[in-house]
Amino acid sequence: MRARWALVFFMAIVLMLFVEVQAITFQQFSSSVIILLLVILFNNFQESRKVRVLGNFGQLLIDLCFISLIIFINGGDRNPFSFLLILTSLFTPLFLEFKQSVVLLLLSILSLYIQSFSTYQFWHTSEFLDINFLITTVVMSSLWTFMSWFSYIISRSREYLEEVVKRDLRISRLQTIGALTSGFCHELGTPLGSMRLCVDRIKSGRGNDFDIKVLEESLQTCEVALKSMVMQSQNDEKLEFNEVDISQVLQDVASSFSENHSSVEIDTSNAKDIYVLGSRISFYRLFFDLFENSVDAGASNITVRVDKKVDTYIMSVNDNGAGFPESVVENLGTPFNSTKKNGMGIGLYNAMTYVDLLGGHMEVSNSNGTIIKMSFKR
């Protein structure tokens, strides 16, 4: 639609110049302005709706009709801007399926043929521009064939790149599984080793209450690690990508979070009308984990801000807590990266992994609390 605005503006300027040099009459100019106004009204109607009324084929067909009509009442094929009909058919293979592109090519050729029957004036002589219809048709068809081939090459390249991206995602997932497995083995290995020592002491008759306490703490550590593993598995299985209303997710998270943390103030008023393609479950878990990290760091106030750029949403979660230790910030993106007594470091790891999966970027910094910035494509 932006291209149509530019075309309407261009044609309006050209028509005024044609009137000035008396290439067309004022009556022709007036008729052309009426057509341009109708196109402007149609464009405004299109932009006022969230969902496009017409697909690419319908949009290009509208463009072809209004260009053909403008050229016809301003001299037809004698008008030098009749080449716009060639351009209309030239780019159709880039936006349409093959059959639709063929239909628009044939309609463009038909429109060019109809232009030869125009009786409207252009310049002082009817022979200002003499177009050979047969030669023009051959040129149009040849250019269309080249663009169709070019579109096919681009399509194949895109399919190849998509396959490469999928392969990289599979490799990345395997690497993630490897990192998680290694981390879980490490997390389970330490308490299991302690449990083994305690069991050996009890078997030898040297056990005491301290050994029982160590066994209970080690069992608790193993349970937390196993629960984290199950949660990670469930999150991976439930990923379904849709358009997610982030403001609604934040309201739900804040409401649920406030039930157990009534003393914490969460401000999400700035995050309105934000829609990102992703998984609602994962976004809910992402913000819940970030809020939980803030509370664990002693925060009493959490603010979510969203800045809307041209093609990017920048979301920031700010709190007034103690911030992350430098060791956590330096090893951001590593599982089991935590300094909390009962922390596993999975929450922040999951958040960064999910942001990366959506093609976004995440940064963590400390400034009178914690600042977590995430950027997503609009």
Distances (CA, A) of 339 to 55, 176, 343: 54, 21, 7
pLDDT of residue 237: 46
Res. 106 pLDDT band, cuts 50 70 90: very high
Res. 149 pLDDT band, cuts 50 70 90: very high
On the question of pLDDT at 366 being above 80, the answer is yes
Which residues have CB under 8 Å from 305's CB, separation 6+?
A: 270, 271, 315, 316, 318
pLDDT of residue 157: 86
Full residue range of the structural domain in which residue 369 is found:
239-378
> Which of 59-68, 165-174, 231-240, 341-350 reaches the highest mean pLDDT?
59-68
Q: Which pair of structure tokens corresponds to residue 307? A: 């800045």
Q: Is residue 209 part of a domain?
A: yes
DSSP output for 174-239: HHHHHHHHHHHHHHHHHHHHHHHHHHHHHHTT---HHHHHHHHHHHHHHHHHHHHHHHHHHHHHT-
Q: How far apart are CA 90 and CA 108, in angstroms?
A: 10
Residue at a domain's end among 218, 237, 256: 237
Q: Is residue 188 part of a domain?
A: yes
Per the CB < 8 A criterion, the answer to whether 191 and 219 are in contact is yes
- The predicted-structure confidence for 107-128, as pLDDT tens digits, reads as follows 999 998 898 888 888 875 545 4
pLDDT of residue 335: 57
Q: Is residue 362 part of a domain?
A: yes
Strand 275-278 and strand 312-319: the pairing is unpaired
Residue at a domain's end among 221, 237, 253: 237
Q: Which of 70-74, 233-237, 248-252 has the lowest mean pLDDT?
A: 233-237
Q: How far apart are CA 150 and CA 166, in angstroms?
A: 24
Mean pLDDT computed over 222-236: 60
CATH of the domain at 168: 1.10.287
Q: Which pair of structure tokens corresponds to residue 373? A: 């910035």
- Do 365 and 287 lie in a common domain? yes
Q: How far apart are CA 123 and CA 17, in angstroms?
A: 12
Mean pLDDT computed over 264-291: 80
Q: How far apart are CA 125 and CA 23, in angstroms?
A: 9
Q: Is residue 366 part of a domain?
A: yes
The domain total for the chain is 3
More confident residue, 249 or 163: 249
- Reported for 47-51, long-range contacts at CB under 8 A and 24+ positions apart, including other chains, are 47/1
More confident residue, 256 or 50: 256
Q: Where are the alpha helices (DSSP H) in the chain?
A: 2-20, 26-47, 56-72, 83-90, 92-95, 98-115, 133-203, 209-237, 246-260, 280-296, 326-330, 346-357
- Do 243 and 374 lie in a common domain? yes
More confident residue, 154 or 211: 154
Name the residue among 224, 290, 234, 279 with its Cα closest to residue 257. 290
- Do 249 and 229 lie in a common domain? no
Q: Is residue 136 part of a domain?
A: no
pLDDT of residue 187: 63
- Do 41 and 173 lie in a common domain? no
Mean pLDDT computed over 332-353: 62
Residue at a domain's end among 220, 237, 254: 237
Q: Is residue 171 part of a domain?
A: yes
Res. 132 pLDDT band, cuts 50 70 90: confident
Mean pLDDT computed over 203-230: 75
